[in-house]
Amino acid sequence: MSVIIDNLPLFGEGMLRTLSICLWGGLGALVLGSLLAVCSVTPVPILNRIGTGWVATMRNVPLAVVLFFFAFGLPEIGVRGSYFWFGTSALAVYTAAFVCEALRSGINAVPIGQAEAARALGVGFGTTLSQILLPQAFRAAVPPLANTTIAMIKDSALVGAIGVGGDLFSVADTLAATRGLDVIPVLAGVVIGYLLIIAPTSALFSLAVRKAVLR
Amino acid sequence: MTGSPSVLFDRLGPRGRHRTRIITAVVGAALLALAAFIGVRLQQSGQLEARHWSPLFNPFDPQFATVWRFLLGGLGNTASAGAVSIVLGLVIGTAIALLRVTALPCYRWCIVGVTEFFRTVPVVISIFFASRALPVIGVDLPLLWYLVIGLTIYNSVAISEIVRAGIHAVPRGQTEAALALGLSRGGALRSIVLPQAFRIMLPSLIAQLVIVVKDTALGFIIGFEELRRRGEIAVQTLGNPLQMYLLIGAIFFVVNGLLSWLARATEARVRGAGRAARRSSAPRRAGSRV
């Protein structure tokens, strides 16, 4: 127990670092993933193929490979940046595929009759999209988005491991490997740190699910 | 997608098709421009030189055989870690699911709590701590097993959810019929429900295998020489990280792509077999004299 209490500031900093990786990575993934989802639902084949290609790649290639490609491959062609930005952008590029899948599954969950009814009533395309289809699609997309977000929070440990440093995983590494402290309390501290991030996130999402279903 | 109506778009008319052609041309041009830009960047930074590519892709290069033997060894390590993890995960996951299904409600909360706890631990952390904590309590294992233990912790929890869903997907009547025929609860579960559940969940299990194979790449945390780590080691002599990680990514893409395809094919088969069974059982029931 004393290991956790003595190093409380370090654990706190680790949590903040993990949070900032997740925040930037999540923001990037949301923007990129939404764009990809738009690409994969338009009736233009070439845009569909960009969407499906991206998703297939990220589904089959480990995040570690994407991370190392970004952090050590891109500098070779003159892309400069800190490990933090390489790490978070790799995380964003990787997670975007799963965000895209979540949004797309949401859109596919809307019964086709909804759109047909709207068209039959003479509602325009923009209004159909914003008033009828997207609200229902977002509701269906919330549970898979929750899973994606929690998976991303856990993946952020890997971003810390490639040399970004300072996040919860690196704290564990420093305390257990470099300073040689007892492993079990360090593990407990780190897991509590992740729990403190994941539990509110997942509570927030289940609140969103309940709101979305009730409305 | 063109022509087939979706929830967002009706079948395209002449104007829509015209617009589609224009967008296709614009996007195609943009992609070509991007490819050209990347090509120029590669050329300028000397990444197109043969010495970066030839050890990986030219069979006549003197280093080709060595590099590939090294990488395929890594792929073998990846495969064995993945295979052992999925088998262990399946055994432990099934045990957890059975415990959860059969346990008294007061114990069930305990199992749910433990599984939920292990779901929040990142796989990297469990691998890292398996390699740190086990030697402390006197368990010294080869590196492969630390990776396997770390992967199994997460996967048995994930697989237990798959198994639970599979058990719930078997119609209730199956258990009731088995009990009515005099089988014990355990017997009904073992010889009636589980075999059917496993068939239903086979596609999800293969899909989980893809995740396990991807996660073996986390072995670098403990220095286990899986495919990606082997690539990293080879880069130290070859000096071509860009090309190497492209190749490693491509190998993972092919291997996991095949597994994903297998999962889809199995799913189609399982679904087809279910339909065929229903079809063939209908007339049998009608003419049954047993």
Residues 6+ apart with CB under 8 A from A115: A128, A132, A133, B7, B8, B10
pLDDT in tens, B172-204: 899 899 999 998 888 888 889 988 998 888 888
Mutation site, A15, A183, A202, A206, interface B, largest B CB count within 10 A: A183
Question: Which of B27, B125, B256 is closest, CB to CB, to A190?
Answer: B125
pLDDT-derived band at B274 (thresholds 50, 70, 90) equals low
> Chain-centre distance of CA B133, in angstroms?
27
Contact check, Cβ <8 Å, A73/B45: no
Distances A154 to A167, B20, B174, B213 between C-alpha atoms, Å: 12, 40, 39, 17
| CA–CA dist A65, B23 (Å, integer) | 33
Could you tell me the pTM of the whole model? 0.86
Q: Quote the pLDDT of residue A53.
A: 93
B287: pLDDT strictly greater than 50: no
Q: Quote the pLDDT of residue B85.
A: 92
| CA–CA dist A85, A83 (Å, integer) | 5
Mutation site, A68, A155, A201, interface B, largest B CB count within 10 A: A68
Spell out, as residue ranges, where chain A has pLDDT lower than 70.
1, 180-181, 212-215
| CA–CA dist A125, A16 (Å, integer) | 43
Q: Quote the pLDDT of residue B62.
A: 79
Could you please report the per-residue DSSP string of B133-192?
Answer: HHHHTT----HHHHHHHHHHHHHHHHHHHHHHHHHHHS-HHHHHHHHHTT--HHHHIIII
The helix, strand and coil proportions of chain A, stated in percent and rounded to the nearest 5, come to 90, 0, 10
| Range of weakest confidence among B116-125, B208-217, B273-282 | B273-282
Q: Quote the pLDDT of residue B284.
A: 46
Residue A14, classified by CB atoms within 10 Å of its CB into exposed (0-12), middle (13-18) or buried (19+), is buried
B242: pLDDT strictly greater than 90: no
Q: Quote the pLDDT of residue A88.
A: 92
| Mean pLDDT of all residues in B76-96 | 91
| CA–CA dist B68, B60 (Å, integer) | 12
Q: Quote the pLDDT of residue B190.
A: 87
| CA–CA dist B87, B47 (Å, integer) | 42
> What phi, psi does B18 have (nearest 5°)?
-60, -45
Q: Quote the pLDDT of residue A152.
A: 93
B83: pLDDT strictly greater than 50: yes
User: 3-state class of B35 per DSSP?
Assistant: helix
Nearest CA in chain A to B231: A65
pLDDT-derived band at B91 (thresholds 50, 70, 90) equals very high
Q: Can you read off the two tokens belonging to residue B27?
A: 């996007």
Q: How far is A61 from chain B (nearest CA, A)?
A: 5
Residues 6+ apart with CB under 8 A from B16: A43, B9
Nearest CA in chain A to B213: A62
| CA–CA dist A64, A90 (Å, integer) | 9
B5: pLDDT strictly greater than 70: no
Residue B277, classified by CB atoms within 10 Å of its CB into exposed (0-12), middle (13-18) or buried (19+), is exposed
Helices (H), B61-122: 64-102, 105-120
Residues 6+ apart with CB under 8 A from B138: none
Of A39, A24, A205, A33, nearest in space to A103 by CA: A33
pLDDT in tens, B210-219: 899 989 888 8
Q: Are A41 and A107 in contact (CB under 8 A)?
A: yes
B4: pLDDT strictly greater than 60: no
B129: pLDDT strictly greater than 90: no
pLDDT in tens, B100-112: 887 777 788 888 8
Nearest CA in chain B to A116: B7
Contact check, Cβ <8 Å, A110/B5: no
Q: How far is A211 from chain B (nearest CA, A)?
A: 23
